[in-house]
Structure 1
Amino acid sequence: MSKIPTRVAACALFTAAACFSPLALAHGNHTHGHGNVQVSVDGTALTVRLDVPLEAYLGYDYPPRNEKQQQVWQAFVERVADPLRFVEPPAEAQCKLSGSRTEPALGEVDPKVDIANLVHEIRFECAQPEALKSLSFSAFRDHPGLKQLRVRLESAGAKKTQTIRPRFPALVF
């Protein structure tokens, strides 16, 4: 019976420990360029909750390290203030923005802390909810690192899951 050399065993043990350490998990569970979206239609209320790796929006998912990254960050913070740069209900539905928020709150982010995923919740009130036949994801226009969104729609008791990509950036109800 052959014995595993001590160096090989030590290396394997170190690698296994690194893979399961809290530091390895600190970056979050995500795939770069891929996000998840929950869309809910409840009466006149339309809620869209995007959960996307920050890297898909910025090209990096750590605090800005230089002037160029700081400019990218600032432009992104300004885009987040306009939720229609991320999702657009059809004009026929006459939806008005009723609120939006991010987790973490971008104005309160510690510049030294990594942000793995950004959750952006956008709420609308729609005067003609029966006209909600689709929903466009305008986030693809400004964020070339965003490759696909896995969207789960819940509306009037019906559930649907669809993958949305830049080539056809709309969810059809």
Structure 2
Amino acid sequence: MRRLLLALPFALLPLTMAYAADHDHEHDSLGAHEHGVGTLNVALDGPTLELDLDGPSVNIVGFEHIATTDADKAKVDSARTQLENPLALFSLPKAAGCVVEAQDLDSPLFEAAPEEAGAAKTEHHHSDIEAHYAFTCANPEALKALDLTQFFKTFPGTHKLKVQLIGGSGQQGSELTPKAPTLKF
């Protein structure tokens, strides 16, 4: 399953390259980095559901610099706590009986050393937050939709998620927004 999710970005590479060429400001090796927009890759293989979320940290915490103030540190801690509870953010049908098997959060904001914070404060850095979740679902056939209403309410800086889904019915792409927060499998 993990290989399936890892292969998805390579399959979409030509589209990403075309988008990056049209993007109005560049970020060295970061590729497309659009505030308010994130990506969500979803893969369903038998009882295993995997979600890979990626987006600018400004979408989640409201800024991209290393947290140096108590208020910024509290925002980062709060966001991390919320991201550590995927069943609250991604409303999966209860009938599917999904449980979290693994999760991994990654961002420079979560790992910054105090000495890096001083340097980061004087420079503008673009940082992302990445989250990977793996669920095991007792009744995967009950997974008809994934509702992100709570995700958009929790992180209002996210205005759109570009979604790629690989599942039993093939591949599909869509865009989810606060007004259209449901992905149909």
TM-score of Structure 1 vs Structure 2, range by shorter chain: 0.7 to 0.9
Query: TM-score, structure 2 length as denominator?
Result: 0.73
2:82 is equivalent to residue 51 of structure 1:
no
CA distance in 2, matches of 1:106, 1:84: 23
* 5+ long unaligned stretches in structure 2: 1-24
Q: Which residue in 2 is equivalent to 1:10?
A: none
Greater helix proportion: 2
* 5+ long unaligned stretches in structure 1: 1-18
Q: How far off is 1:120 after superposition?
A: 0.3
SS at match of 1:52: strand
Q: How far off is 1:171 after superposition?
A: 0.4
SS at match of 2:34: coil
CA distance in 2, matches of 1:156, 1:105: 35
Measured at CA, do residues 42 and 92 of structure 1 come closer, stay the same or move farther in structure 2, by a change above 3 Å?
same
CA distance in 1, matches of 2:108, 2:139: 31
Q: Which residue in 1 is equivalent to 2:144?
A: 133
Q: How far off is 1:168 after superposition?
A: 2.4
The equivalent position to 1:40 in structure 2, one of 40, 43, 51, is 43
CA distance in 1, matches of 2:92, 2:81: 20
Q: Which residue in 2 is equivalent to 1:146?
A: 158
5 Å-filtered alignment, 1:1-173, equals 24-25=27-28, 29-104=32-107, 108-110=111-113, 112=117, 114=125, 116-137=127-148, 138-156=150-168, 158-173=170-185
Q: How many residues align?
A: 152
- For 1:135-171, what per-residue CA distance to the aligned partner results, in whole angstroms no more than 9, with x for missing partners? 1123211111010101100002600101000112110
CA distance in 2, matches of 1:56, 1:172: 24
The answer (yes or no) to whether the contact 1:27–1:116 under 8 Å persists in 2 is no
Equivalent residue letter for 2:91:
E
CA distance in 2, matches of 1:63, 1:28: 21
Measured at CA, do residues 129 and 105 of structure 1 come closer, stay the same or move farther in structure 2, by a change above 3 Å?
farther
Larger radius of gyration: 1
Moved more, 156-165 or 66-75: 66-75
Q: How far off is 1:81 after superposition?
A: 1.9
Q: How far off is 1:70 after superposition?
A: 1.9
